[in-house]
Structure 1
Amino acid sequence: MGYMALKLDMSKPYDRVEWVYLERIMEKMGFSRRWINLISMCIRSVTYLVMLNGQPHGLITPTRVTVSECVKIQSLLYLYEQATGSYKWRSIINAKHVIKLGRVWRVGNGESIQIRGDRWLPQISSAKVLFPVTGLALDARVCDIIDQDSHTWRAGLIDQNFLPHEAKLIKGIPLSWQTVSDKQVWLPSNHGEFTTQSPYHLFVGQGRNLLPGSSSGGGNKLIWKGIWNLQEGDVELRKCIGQKFLPFVDLLAILFLRKDRLDIDLLAVIMWLIWGRRNASCMGESILEYRQIWAKAKLYLLDFKTAQKDDRRLTTTVIRVPRWIPPIHNHFKINFDRAVFSEMDTAGLGVVIRDSYGRVVGALAERIPITISATMVEALACRRALNFAKELNLMDTVFKGDAEQIIKALLAKEMHQPEYGHVLQDSLVLASEFRVCMFTPC
């Protein structure tokens, strides 16, 4: 017996005809059970996959439902859209470009980063290389300008192919002494963690750059300085009513100019309550009536001022000169520090090693290209101190520096800092090779 292929329009029986009814009709018309089973299998074997975050999920086997069930499902989807999809997801999508603005590559081995096009320079305003690099291939990667053996930048090649300010930035990027992969990090945060404040400041700054205005940014600085330095006042807010302001910052500028006649603290609490009412309304939560805001603000402000009061007693300040404390017997104390010479575009690393009797065992001073921040130089100084002690084969050590942020990160074994996390990782690897290795702040 041969084979035969049938092209059937299955959408009509699938969408519009009850499946059991279709089977009964075929039985009345005398079709064999095998044929009826084949047709039923074609109708009932349809499955679906749902794309979620770019990945297929399923399989979903559909069944026929009643009209009332369809209406119920539709109402549930509508409620879900109003509760989450309409507001939250719109906000996330609209803020996606802000996430891209603050996200940069942290250079590891450089193999994943293209020199042209990728954001890898340690600055938010212009993280991409702007100058057309003519001496390198169009698809050149950052690994092409790194000496993989010494884990250092190929300074001569960089100076030849980049603008001077870009070359200085690149040579100031610290490289790990290990072979680590490139990593995308959130640059606006000092601790590497994404917070709602960091993208907000990025978003505000990006939006202002698109607006016409004076070449001086001093006005906005005065506004934000006024916000964070609000003083107490006892004059009721009866001014500035009826005036029209397009940007909110214009209103703030006028208010701070009149802060000697306005209760700016009370105004700030009122604005905070109005903003909170707006957020609660968007989320479908209970809201505060507008007529209640004034009294609520005065109550909040009174509670705050009461909590801030203290006994303002005269105190005598005693200035203590820091004294070097020796380590325990047969241990070595390694003090490290940094210096930044902005006029020379360089930074310095300093290390002094003493034994338990206070005798100098070793000292080191090195000049390095200036980096994007002083904290990064502190991290480099700590790494160099560890390596210097290892070179001298000192196995029982105490490392001391005045960079509290670096010391705390090493004690907590945190390596998520966006700019120098890989440098801290090098330091922890070196520390694991000592018999005794302790970190203490000055």
Structure 2
Amino acid sequence: MSDESPLIQSLRGAVEAAPEDVPLRLHLAQLLLDAGRAGEAIVEAAAALQRDPNNVQARAMMTRAVGPPPPGPAAAPSPSSGQAPHAPEPGFDWHRAEDEVAGIVEPRFVTGPPDESGAAGTPEVPLAAGGDDDPGATSPWDVESAGGLRLADVGGMREVKERLEAAFLAPLRNPELRKLYGKSLRGGLLLYGPPGCGKTFLARAVAGELGAGFLNVALSDVLDMWVGASERNLSSIFKTARRNAPCVVFLDELDALGGKRSRIQHGGMRNTVNQLLTELDGVGSDNEGVFVLAATNHPWDVDSALRRPGRLDRTLLVLPPDDEARRAVLHYHLRERPVAGVDLERLARRTEGFSGADLAHLCETASEYALMDSVRSGEPRMIGMADLTRAAKELRPSTDAWFATARNVALYANEGGTYDDLLAYLKKRKLL
């Protein structure tokens, strides 16, 4: 446009060159709004919301742009004009603006259907399916099958398997002994260790051994921006598990979901931790047949109340794969690649301390070396031991940073011997 300022013209060009740059687009919208061009500002704010629906600045910009124009000095109406004192002057097309943002910006107020008198109903608040207020609705949480996965499918990790056997599997397989010794079929186990070492895979294997359903609960499944919604989500998850018992509930990233309440500033998060404690206790419900497995990379950040007897009272360290497990992981990631002359036993010895994710990355890196050589030479070649050895030299275990932090906790905050198994491993690896 000819009357457009050079700054707005420059920003338009920048936005066209980088359409995904939300802050740049919002800056253009602000300038348009300041220039009194609300219609164009709405288009830019809507495009920003389409790319980042939760952007607070974009929502505020949209609210300002679609709101009524600020009142100006009212001119005294002429008695002879016949015009109403506050008649709107022709200007912005509000109906067109609504059509442009439909489906991008949700309406601020949603009212229920009109009652018999024709008046609009009261605002409706959606209820979480499966809750007490909606008993007939289906649950939004999918209880999966373990798909035939067993602990035997997990390579190595003999000590971890023995602890899992004692904690969950033996009581279920021996019901008479369970009754004799009064062993309950409820309980919780906290898996902790460096990232990428197979905690989720182990939880699925436990579900397969039990012949139980598997309910994988991520942080995003629980936390909600609305007050009380997070607690309601947790309640709905555990109700689903009880209806589908036997069921393994796997809580990932427990340090974020059940962090120490003394460090939490937001009251809503404290209420979420309290609700989790209530569900683990099974207050007003029976948790028999509901097995709770939780995983965290930072057990020292988990609220101590979650780890008291009767809740997540058993803790299991999941370490980087041992020699046998590393061979199994390497074999798995190389099984469909063109390899020749690979000595898995020697490679497994060279990758001590690597997590399962590190080993997958090693195989990927070795494949890239062979691929680039094939591109340069024009002839495809096999992935050899030299490629894998080179990748092992260049990559560092991602677990090193975790052990650097865990070492201090194990040395100076080992209350009640919680981290004795971690100390033993650090001594064995000479990391102390």
TM-score scaled by length of structure 2: 0.19
TM-score scaled by length of structure 1: 0.19
Larger Rg: 1
Structure with greater proportional strand content: 1
